[in-house]
Amino acid sequence: MSDSTFRGLLRDLGIFFGTVFAFVGGFLLVSYVVAPSRNPYGFWLGFLLYMYAFSKALRWALAWHQGRKKSRRRER
């Protein structure tokens, strides 16, 4: 948790569920664009590429947020 308050808990829950909804929405988009019935190998390749890209984007966003947080502390 970011801080031990109710506001911090709501923020962490929002981040968690937002990430889950974004992942599921992206999966539905991939499965719509590359339907498993048309090309099953292409679907799984697209899904694996989507998982890789999603994890890289999430890692980048977390690193960017941490760097931004540290720079704010230095300014104080």
Which residues touch 50 (CB under 8 Å, ≥6 apart)? 26, 27, 30
Q: How confident is the model at residue 3 (pLDDT cuts 50, 70, 90)?
A: low
Domain segments of the chain: what residues? Answer: 6-75
Q: How confident is the model at residue 52 (pLDDT cuts 50, 70, 90)?
A: very high
- Which of 23-32, 52-61, 63-72 has the highest average model confidence (pLDDT)? 52-61
Q: How confident is the model at residue 73 (pLDDT cuts 50, 70, 90)?
A: low
**What pLDDT does residue 67 have?**
79
For the chain, the three-class secondary structure string (H helix, E strand, C coil) is CCCCCHHHHHHHHHHHHHHHHHHHHHHHHHHHHCCCCCCHHHHHHHHHHHHHHHHHHHHHHHHHHHHHHHHHHHHC
**Structure token digits, residue 18:** 């937002």
Averaged pLDDT score across all residues of the chain: 83
